[in-house]
Amino acid sequence: MKVRTRFAPSPTGNVHIGNMRAAIYNWLYARHHGGEFLLRVEDTDRERSTPEAIQTLLEAMKWLKLDVDGEHLYQSTRMEAHLAAAEMLLEKGHAYKEDKGGLGQGECVIFKMPGKDISFDDGIKGTLTKAAENMQDFVIVRSNGTPVFHLANVLDDIEQRVTHVIRGDDHVENTFRHIALYEALGAPVPQFAHLPMIVNHQGKPYSKRDGDAFVGDFRDKGFLPEALFNYLALLGWSPGDDREIMSVQEMIEAFDLDRCQSSPAQVDLKKLTWMNGEYMLKLPVEEFSALCFAELDKAGINAEPEYAEKVFALVRERVKIVADIAPMIAYFFSDDYDYDEKAVSKKLQKEGVADILKQVRALLAELPVFDEASTSKALHDFVEQSGLGFGAVMPPVRIAVSGTQSGPDLFPILAVLGREKVLARIDRTVERFLA
Ligand code: GLU
């Protein structure tokens, strides 16, 4: 039997990474087994499932390259079929009508539980059982005539001939009811697999309060889709060895449900950021440059291409996420850069620093050639001859030309900035902080 999985989100305008992880697992499972990955938009809540919300969902999937097989199924188009099935269940005695609460608001349709224990073999959690006495009959059509989630969800999975339902474990309790529905409808029960929650460091459901939680947040910050995909795939699944950076093809080959963990998976944004940095390093130089130019553009920085490329090369290995780029290199493009206050007070505004900077300036001004090697030699010689030590010389120079203590190696920075800018920046820094 061909594997058919599906992603069945209820669009709300944002796509939580937990939902997207479920989509990724369904996709990987289908691709691993040469099956199909379907999309069903559970858009029956018309207030939340706006066209924009659906658009956001589709864009998030496209961004992560989760290609869907066949037509998308919109649950809202299936109301008639849902109601017809409810009629059938009534006729067969699997359901009954009741004026719930006797409020005279009309009758709803209630599904009659079969009165037996229900068990299923969850692909991740193992065998789960619920005793008959702990399961109550439940509404499948409201008194206003609209079908309830359980009915619609099961009928649509039958319609889409879904063989494997991989979803969050907030649906485990529903599954017992769903199985009763499948049986009453005379349809084969799919294989279920319930993914553990993703949680914050306190073990609570991971939410917006803990940091970025929506796919769009990560896209806007310049995370690469490949990195987020890889990270989410490993959030609760492992290939069984210590591989972490994996291509999509490798993940497809290695993916299976029996290596999905049944305990909650903790979100670690630091790890995601590290992973993104690894993916950034793999980008071809032209792609990295294009991202950098786009970021400079967004920051309103006009960059001369040849000079800009040199700057990009300097930070290539330091950039973890795209949003870091502009702040990291802004000082190359404007003399009006911010000074890091702590750096200024700790390393710059000290006895003797003005004198050191003036001496360094004089040395640099006299160099016959101004490049990485010559500036490096000049400063190293100065450190040695003066007996001052690196710590007394290099940080003030770095802060003077860049405003910050961190960044790429100093000498390539000097070389890229060029003599004129370096001298002017030293002068200005002395005047501003040390005069
Ligand atoms: N729309 C439901 C949800 O997003 C579907 C759950 C499912 O069956 O996958 O929670």
Q: What is the pTM of this model?
A: 0.91
Mean pLDDT of 82-100: 96
Per-residue model confidence as pLDDT tens digits over 233-257? 999 999 999 999 999 999 999 999 9
Distance CA 285, CA 291 (A): 10
Does 188 have pLDDT greater than 90?
A: yes
SS3 of residue 247 by DSSP: coil
| Closest atom of ligand 1 relative to the 22 alpha carbon | 9
Active site (catalytic) residues: 208
Q: Is residue 102 very low, low, confident or very high in pLDDT (cuts 50, 70, 90)?
A: confident
**Residue of the CA atom closest to atom 2 of ligand 1:** 9
**Predicted local distance difference test score (pLDDT) of residue 129:** 98
Inter-residue contact 289 to 316 (CB < 8 Å):
no
Distance CA 91, CA 81 (A): 15
Which residues form ligand 1's pocket by a CB distance below 6 Å? 8-10, 42, 153, 165, 167, 171
> 47 CA to middle of ligand 1, Å?
17
**Predicted local distance difference test score (pLDDT) of residue 207:** 95
| Closest atom of ligand 1 relative to the 166 alpha carbon | 9
Give me the residues paired with residue 120 across strands: 128
> 161 CA to middle of ligand 1, Å?
16
**Predicted local distance difference test score (pLDDT) of residue 147:** 97
Per-residue model confidence as pLDDT tens digits over 251-273? 999 999 999 999 999 999 999 99
**Predicted local distance difference test score (pLDDT) of residue 435:** 87
**Would you state the structure tokens that stand for residue 284, as one six-digit string?**
């071809």
CA-to-CA separations, 408 to 179, 317, 358, 359, 401, in angstroms, rounded:
60, 9, 23, 23, 12
Inter-residue contact 222 to 294 (CB < 8 Å):
no
**Predicted local distance difference test score (pLDDT) of residue 50:** 95
Mean pLDDT of 80-86: 98
**Predicted local distance difference test score (pLDDT) of residue 101:** 72
Q: Is residue 357 very low, low, confident or very high in pLDDT (cuts 50, 70, 90)?
A: very high
DSSP one-letter code for 352: T
**Would you state the structure tokens that stand for residue 83, as one six-digit string?**
């109601």
Per-residue model confidence as pLDDT tens digits over 30-54? 999 999 999 999 999 989 999 999 9
Q: Is residue 103 very low, low, confident or very high in pLDDT (cuts 50, 70, 90)?
A: confident
| Closest atom of ligand 1 relative to the 153 alpha carbon | 8
Give me the residues paired with residue 434 across strands: none
Residue-level length of the chain: 435
| Closest atom of ligand 1 relative to the 10 alpha carbon | 1
Residue with tokens 């349809």: 187
**Residue of the CA atom closest to atom 6 of ligand 1:** 8
> 198 CA to middle of ligand 1, Å?
16
Mean pLDDT of 174-179: 98
SS3 of residue 52 by DSSP: helix
> 116 CA to middle of ligand 1, Å?
25
Does 104 have pLDDT greater than 80?
A: no
Per-residue model confidence as pLDDT tens digits over 135-164? 999 999 999 999 999 999 999 999 999 999
